Amino acid sequence: MRLLLLLPFVGLLWVPFYNRELPALFGFPFFYWYQLAWVFVTALLTWLVYRSEHARNVVEDEEAVR
């Protein structure tokens, strides 16, 4: 699941993929709305990882602080 956290890096650092004007959305060129969309996608991916790890993390946190 942690690998999901790598997707934003691929999506945002591969600049030639999104350095274009079309398709536009609500007047926003692709370059802009694509990157803004990654805000939501990244939050979603992080949440999925958070959820999948939650039980394990609780145990790890308790051990670490003890």
Binding site for other proteins (CB under 8 A): 2, 5-6, 8-9, 12-16, 19-21, 24, 26-29, 31-32, 35-36, 38-40, 42-43, 45-47, 49-50, 57-58, 60-61, 64-66
- Kindly state the smallest distance separating residue 49's Cβ from other proteins, in Å: 7
CA distance 65 to 40: 32
Q: Which two tokens stand for residue 7?
A: 């997707």
Q: What is the DSSP string of 11-40?
A: HHH-HHHH-S--S-BTTB-HHHHHHHHHHH
Tell the smallest beta-carbon distance from residue 44 to other proteins (Å): 9
